[in-house]
Amino acid sequence: MGYRLPSISTIGTLSEEAKGEVLNNLFEPHDSIVRYLKPLFEQSYKDYDQFIDSALKRFQELDPHSELAKDIISSHPRLGVPRGTELSEHSAKEQENLQGDDGVVVEFSRLNKLYESTYPGLRFVLFVNGRDKESVKSVFKQRIERNNYELEVRDAIEAMCDIAKDRAHKLLSKL
């Protein structure tokens, strides 16, 4: 990961391209996220955690059933995909613990399909960094069984922001 986040004090003066790079590195590279969060660059922040907290508030304003909410949440890759599947550099690193033999891939594929049929238009998003496969599968199953679309959108958005904070801390530690 060669990218380094710019100083939070300069965030409002970044070029449009640099703003997109910030968002693509904190979240997943996706045009809808960049467009939706661009207004955040008009404010100042004490740190990236505060910036991401503002992103969380903005995401929470979305109608959970809107196409935009679905598009933003589905920007995250499926969990437990086979080796060689194209993932962002950050997601590939974060999902290393979920890689395994064909049986693991088949189980995660089954869970992804079941999840996506339970929550049409969404992808399962979980801050997996450091969790083992069994822990991730357990949360996966609990959230499928819960079968509550609005809570699922809330949890997915919160997970996206938890992931973004972790990425920010890692990208800032490179300074």
Tens digits of per-residue pLDDT, 119-140? 999 999 999 877 888 898 899 9
pLDDT bucket at 78, cuts 50 / 70 / 90: confident
pLDDT exceeds 50 at position 87? no
- Is residue 3 in some structural domain? no
The four Cα atoms 116, 122, 127, 132 give a dihedral, to 10 degrees, of 10
Q: Residue 93's domain spans which residues?
A: 8-172
- Is residue 88 in some structural domain? yes
pLDDT bucket at 8, cuts 50 / 70 / 90: very high
pLDDT exceeds 80 at position 71? yes
Contact 124, 112 (CB under 8 A): yes
Residue 62, helix vs strand vs coil:
coil
- Measured N-to-C along each axis, helices 102-118 and 133-146 cross at an angle, to the nearest 10 degrees, of 20
Give the mean model confidence (pLDDT) for residues 88-103.
56
- Is residue 109 in some structural domain? yes
- Is residue 2 in some structural domain? no
Residue 126, domain CATH: 1.10.3330.10
- Distance between CA atoms of residues 34 and 138, nearest Å: 32
pLDDT exceeds 90 at position 101? no
- Is residue 1 in some structural domain? no
